[in-house]
Structure 1
Amino acid sequence: MSDFNTTDFTNPSTFILLGVPGLEVAHVWISIPFCTMYAIAVLGNFTILFIVKREPSLHGPMYYFLCMLAGSDLVISTSIVPKTLNIFWFNSREIDFSACLTQMYFVQCFSVMASGILLAMAFDRYIAICDPLRHSTILTNHRVAKIGLALLLRSSVLVMPNPILARQWPYCRTNIIPHTYCDGMAVVKLACADIRVSSYYGLFLAFLVTGVDVFFISVSYIQILRVIFRLPAKDARLKAFRTCGSHLFIFLTFCIPSMFSNLTHRFGQNVPLHFHVLIANMYLLLPPMLNPIIYGVWTEQIRNRLFWLFTCKGT
């Protein structure tokens, strides 16, 4: 591996992914939870997509947004896990330079999109609880499709400068990435140039885009909780809590590790590298795994349809 430490190049043909630095001897063991989470994520999200497609009663804004989230989760997890498992199982650490930048783009793009989808879901719940009589007229299927397209365009355009900037930098020190995948800052830090533009733009995405989404999601749920506490019937309050509780939990599992990962990349010099790499993976793997489980358990319509599918096949 020392051959890659001091190479004289400006445009590397490949990068070398180390996996989890310092824990190389445990890669096979670490692969077990990674593989399990990925399998659950793929099975769960495809199940959500299948159930919503097959069940006409679920053809509504909330479930369309849930399908968008499931699709985004599948892209994020599939962008990183197969290559990560190749590193863990077969020591296949090389990744083409263009493939690395493509992976970086897809991970960042669909992470920003997932943030926007969570905001759209919060808005849907806000209208459903705070102004239920106008819900069907405000969030029509046509408008939901427009929101989904706008979120895709927003994430695609805003993230595009990151791989473009990364391609411009000269890489003359090393091509070794101490990570399991081509994380944006992990790649840019290898450049032997002033990378403040990339760093500042990454902070802009983290705080002025995702941060704005988080702010409006928080405001939505504050308003929702105010309405819930005013409901006279206990059953109505519990039903509203169950509906919003799943969204709120998913929001927290996405937001907290994401912010932690972004901050430690820039300011956490004392955080052990292997800990940072594991957290960065968990922030991308946990939500795709948990989303279908939580919505499947807490959403009565999906739970009933899933139970019906299993009982029909069993008979």
Structure 2
Amino acid sequence: MKKLHLLILFLSISGFANSQDKQIIETIDIENFWRAFDKLSNASSKKDSISIIQTEYIDNSTEFFKEFIKVRNFNAEEYNTLIAKYPRFWNSIRPETENVQNRKYDVEQLLDKYEKEIPNFKRPNVCFAIGCLRTGGTVSKNLILIGTEIAASTPDTEKSELSGWLKSVIGTFGDIESMVSHETVHTQQKKGRLSDLVDHTLNEGVADFLSEKISGLTINKVAYKYGSENDCFLRKEFLADYSKNKTDISNWLYNGSRSKDRPADLGYYIGYRIAEEYYYKSTNKKKAVGDLLNRKNYKKIFKKSEYLRKSCS
């Protein structure tokens, strides 16, 4: 009997340990958003609408979504403005966002791929929530925060009400798995100060390269198509900009609202190509992955890069 008790205790502890190793994939905030959305039909004023969003959605935030709100400064008034401005968009994206709760196994399988490829991989938690159309994904330490209204959009998503950068990117990120894959790499990058254009460019390019290498997924098909077609010009422009002002990233990253005549965020493409070259020229691929995940190496990797300095054919 004593042995049986010990066996049960061992299995209980083992089960608890395994459950602790598994990440949490949170989707409750999506349910909370749509509950608030439905109640807006009963609102009698703008003030009433804002109050509904605050009490039904924001005040009911999971701990993960509270972090998302803190990182991106979401607020009830902004949600109310966007819901009123883009009604067809919201009704169109709803089924895709509500289906995310059925995709948890897909996300777990995706993270399994990373666990096999990255030494000492720490599985991140994932929060799927509805943001304010400002971010498809970001991270906070070992927590992935997904703006599902962007990440879950498809080419069929209604976007006639949208304009500018937002209209150009909705439906182009591939799938929620693509966004999670990119952000997963960010959770594994070792701390290091991102001080200039090179650091920021490699930070994003490495995430794109390793995401594609490990999962076959990318979030930047539009930028990469343009990049491959204009590679020589972009390389020259990047080096010229870096020589002129090393800390100015405005022409290359996070420039969706400013990029008018070409795709935004072409720094992702430049960083990808530098990371790709470094990886394939390395004889020790595991070490190369470790190097790419260490932000302190980015200046060294940049200086060794022949990609940026090769002649145009």
TM-score past 0.5 threshold: no
Shorter-normalised TM range: under 0.3
TM-score (normalised: structure 2): 0.25
Give the helix-richer structure, 1 or 2. Answer: 1
